[in-house]
């Protein structure tokens, strides 16, 4: 048979690091012919020193060591992406504020020391944006042109994709869907505003609405048919649905991806979300908007960080 495929496209590897308050995860992805494949991944407990002031130095050193270990095991990588759970400065690669990791993180360089430890260009990204990018490129939103994503956990992370690109904004904060106001006089949110989606849909509020100690128990109770838990999830779904309907009116996405622990409730949460969307997003054809659970689980952050590093490197190279 004639070989009509021509020379094979180069296969390039990229490393993603995911900084969490409990674990640091890493993954090496390979990119060829527009497709992504996972080569290796692992996680280690985050070095949280008893001395709060020493935590950032310890974690940044650990990220550098982890990157070096991953590269030693998987061979050279072209870029490193680092997902961080909070605010950062895309121009300098320093963190600004990480609400759930101890330590003074304001102005703490992270990308530069990891790059210095490995000799590879490194780029930061918010962890929710990394989640969305991973689901867009190799997860449940593959092939979508526009999407919104929500991660339902301790907080409510968000991500917006328009025309195949994650919207980052001028300072990396675009996509905070969880902090849109849905009740001007609602409960206080950790961000300082009141009545945010997150103030109703973060894990502790899900548990409170369902009469359980944790969000995981809330999901289990609802799945077992507990009436209060079912009502609680329906209420949470209603608030999420209002926020999502606002986003549908704003960008008319192809796909809505829901991830994080509470999304495990499946239809018990998705059905009230859909019902609320149908009440409030009337300008577009909702038949063309699909709501899907995330596919990549706990690894989405590391995968998305790897993809982000690759895309930032490509943008730098081509001057975009
Ligand atoms: Zn908020």
Segment 219-278, tens digit of pLDDT: 999 999 999 999 999 999 999 999 999 999 999 999 999 999 999 999 999 999 999 999
Judge whether 2 lies within some domain: no
242 lies in the same domain as 152: yes
One domain, residues 240 and 112? no
What is the CA(131)–ligand 1 centre distance, in A? 19
Evaluate whether 99 touches 178 at the Cβ level (below 8 Å).
Answer: no
Domain annotation covers residue 56: yes
Q: How far apart are the CA of 317 and the centre of ligand 1, in A?
A: 36
Q: Which residue has the higher pLDDT, 243 or 8?
A: 243
Per-residue pLDDT tens over the stretch 168-195: 998 889 999 999 999 999 999 999 999 9
Strand, helix or coil at 235? helix
| pLDDT confidence band for 75 (50 / 70 / 90) | very high
Q: Quote the domain boundaries for residue 216.
A: 144-294
Residues 189 and 69 in one domain: no
CATH number, domain of 39, equals 3.30.420.40
Give residue for tokens 């999407």. 147
CA of 15 to the centre of ligand 1 (A): 31
Q: What is the DSSP letter of 10?
A: P
* In a shared domain, residues 284 and 304: no
Q: What is the pLDDT of residue 196?
A: 97
Question: Which residues place a Cβ less than 5 A from the ion ligand 1?
Answer: 179, 189, 191, 193, 196, 198
Q: Report the separation in Å between the CA atom of 114 and the middle of ligand 1, taken as the mean of its atom positions.
A: 31
- Residue 208 has phi, psi (to 5 degrees) of -60, -45
Distance 157 CA to ligand 1 centre (A): 10
> Same domain, yes or no, for 107 and 172?
no
Distance 188 CA to ligand 1 centre (A): 8
Distance (angstroms) between ligand 1 centre and the Cα of 38 equals 34
Whether 228 is covered by a domain: the verdict is yes
**Residues 121, 148: one domain?**
no
Answer yes or no: do 39 and 157 share one domain: no
How close is the Cα of 296 to the center of ligand 1, in Å?
A: 26
Residue 86 lies in a domain: yes
| Residue 215 CA to ligand 1 centre (angstroms) | 19
Residue 125 shares a structural domain with residue 186 = no
> How many angstroms is it from 184 CA to the middle of ligand 1?
12
pLDDT tens-place string over residues 99-140: 889 999 999 999 999 999 999 999 999 999 999 999 999 999
Q: Return the closest-CA partner of residue 44 out of 27, 22, 14.
A: 22
Would you say residue 135 lies in a domain?
Answer: no
Q: Give the helix/strand (H/E) hosting 111.
A: helix 111-118
d(CA 109, CA 185): 38
- Residues 176, 158: one domain? yes
Q: How far apart are CA 157 and CA 260, in angstroms?
A: 9
Q: Are 141 and 88 in contact (CB under 8 A)?
A: no
273 and 314 assigned to the same domain = no
What is the tally of structural domains in the chain?
2
- Kindly list the distances between the CA atom of residue 114 and the CA atoms of 41, 79, 143, 239, in Å, as whole numbers in the listed order: 18, 11, 32, 40
CA of 250 to the centre of ligand 1 (A): 19
pLDDT > 80? residue 318: no
Degrees (nearest 5) of the Cα angle 135, 136, 139? 40
Residue 5 maps to a domain: no
Same domain, 308 and 235: no
Whole-Å CA distances, 103 to 29, 45, 111 = 30, 17, 17
Position 98 in a domain: yes
Residue 186 has, within 13 A of its CA and on its CB side, a CA count of 20
155 with 58, same domain? Answer: no
pLDDT over threshold 80, residue 8: no
Q: For residue 70, is pLDDT > 90? A: yes
- Domain membership flag for residue 204: yes
């Amino acid at each position: 048979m004639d070989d009509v495929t021509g020379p094979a496209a180069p296969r390039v590897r990229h490393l993603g690091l995911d900084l969490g308050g409990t674990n640091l995860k890493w993954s090496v992805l390979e990119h060829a012919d527009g497709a992504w494949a996972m080569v290796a991944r692992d996680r280690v407990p985050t070095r949280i020193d008893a001395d709060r002031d020493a935590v950032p130095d310890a974690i940044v050193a650990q990220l550098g060591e982890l990157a070096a270990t991953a590269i030693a095991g998987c061979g050279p990588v072209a870029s490193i992406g680092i997902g961080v759970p909070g605010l950062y400065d895309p121009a300098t690669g320093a963190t600004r504020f990480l609400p759930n990791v101890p330590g003074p993180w304001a102005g703490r360089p992270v990308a530069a020391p990891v790059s210095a430890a490995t000799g590879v260009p490194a780029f930061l990204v918010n962890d929710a944006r990394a989640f969305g990018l991973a689901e867009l490129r190799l997860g449940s939103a593959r092939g979508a042109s526009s999407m919104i994503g929500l991660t339902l956990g301790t907080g409510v992370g968000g991500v917006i994709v328009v025309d195949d690109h994650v919207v980052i904004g001028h300072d990396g904060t675009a996509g905070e869907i969880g902090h849109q106001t849905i009740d001007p006089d609602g409960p206080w949110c950790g961000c300082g505003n009141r009545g945010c989606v997150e103030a109703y849909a973060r894990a502790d509020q899900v548990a409170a609405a369902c009469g359980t100690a944790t969000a995981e128990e809330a999901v289990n109770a609802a799945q077992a048919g507990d009436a209060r838990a079912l009502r609680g999830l329906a209420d949470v779904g209603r608030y999420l649905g209002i926020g999502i309907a606002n986003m549908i009116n704003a960008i008319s996405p192809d796909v809505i991806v829901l991830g994080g622990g509470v999304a495990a409730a499946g239809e018990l949460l998705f059905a009230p979300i859909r019902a609320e969307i149908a009440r409030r997003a009337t300008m577009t054809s909702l038949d063309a908007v699909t709501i899907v659970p995330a596919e990549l689980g706990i690894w989405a952050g590391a995968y998305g960080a790897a993809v982000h590093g690759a895309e930032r490197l490509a943008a730098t190279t081509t001057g975009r």
